[in-house]
Amino acid sequence: MIVCVCNNVSDREITRAVQMGMQSMADLRRNLGVGDCCGKCGSCAKRIMRDAAAACPQQRGMSLAAA
Ligand code: FES
């Protein structure tokens, strides 16, 4: 499923980014472009990050403060 239409970023790409160590929306924005245009994907991307982090022990406790 495409999460960020502006930059054609899927939920799988966001999940993989979390598994590779990205820990915040700022990381996603900087590396994938998520949320850097219209911003409508922000809440969905955060939810996917949270779910991915919960499933990935190394990423528990990640910061989503930088939206
Ligand atoms: S949908 Fe992600 S920035 Fe527009």
pLDDT digits (tens, 9 = 90+) for 3-41: 999 999 999 999 999 999 999 999 999 999 999 999 999
Q: Is 39 in the pocket of ligand 1 (CB under 6 A)?
A: yes
Angle (nearest 5°) at CA 29 between 55 and 16: 30
What residue segments make up the domains of the chain, in order of their start? 2-59
- The pLDDT of residue 63 is 56
Q: Is 18 helix (H, G, I), strand (E, B) or coil?
A: helix
C-alpha distances out from residue 45 to 53, 59, Å: 12, 16
pLDDT in tens, 45-62: 999 999 999 998 666 655
Residue with CA nearest ligand 1 atom 1: 4
CATH topology for 2-59 is Arc Repressor Mutant, subunit A (1.10.10)
Question: In whole angstroms, what is the distance from residue 25 CA to residue 64 CA?
Answer: 6
29-32, Cβ contacts within 8 angstroms, sequence gap of 24 or more: 32/4, 32/7
Ligand 1 pocket test, pick from 41, 44, 49 with the greatest ligand atom count within 8 Å of Cβ, gives 41
